[in-house]
Amino acid sequence: MTITDATARLAAAADASLRWHPDGPYSLHQTLGTLLRGTGDPSFSVLPNGFWTAFTTPDGPVTLRLSPAADGAVDAQAWGPGSAAGLAGVPRLLGAEDDWSAFDEPAFHATLPRMVRDARRRNPAVRLPSTGRVV
């Protein structure tokens, strides 16, 4: 059995799932890539079928798979006793609570270094993930 086969079988048996629809451009890879701590990070990994992470919740441990959907949404599947709590935090993890309005105000934006303004302009799909946990 390959990793792809195993993950396909796991997805079919997820304890819970949801689909999150971002408002506006969104890049799962750019957003969650900031959480990776090297290729050997046991709590967060990237596979061809999405991002995998595991953590504990008040209800118990959870394993999440987050993968881009064809329509621009993000699919989340969860396994473990903490599935409900893990899925409840998915929008925040994916940056849904970001508020760029103050940053993008023309008066403030003009005061930023050119490199920062250019980075924001070139990467409008980046969100700031929030795990709600100390990393």
* Model pLDDT for residues 1-34, shown as the tens digit of each residue: 444 555 555 556 889 999 999 998 999 999 998 8
Q: What burial letters (b/e) apply to 15-45, b meaning 16+ CB within 10 Å?
A: bbeeebebeeebbbeebbeeeeeeeeeeebe
Whole-angstrom CA distances from 134 to 6, 98, 107, 110, 130 are 30, 18, 33, 33, 10
What pLDDT does 1 receive? 40
pLDDT digits (tens, 9 = 90+) for 52-73: 999 999 999 999 999 999 899 9
The two tokens of residue 9 are 């079988």
pLDDT surpasses 90 at 134: no
Q: What is the pLDDT of residue 36?
A: 81
Q: Is the pTM above the cut of 0.85?
A: no
Give me the domains of the chain, ranges plus CATH numbers. Answer: 3-122 (3.30.310.20)
Task: Provide, rounded to the nearest whole percent, the portion of the chain with pLDDT above 90.
Answer: 55
Location of structure tokens 């924001």: 120
- Residue 25: CA atoms inside 13 Å, Cβ hemisphere, count? 8
The pLDDT value recorded for residue 34 is 83
Instruction: List, for residues 69-101, the tens digit of each pLDDT value.
Output: 989 999 999 999 999 999 999 999 999 998 888
Instruction: Give the Cα separation of 63 and 75 in Å (integer).
Output: 14
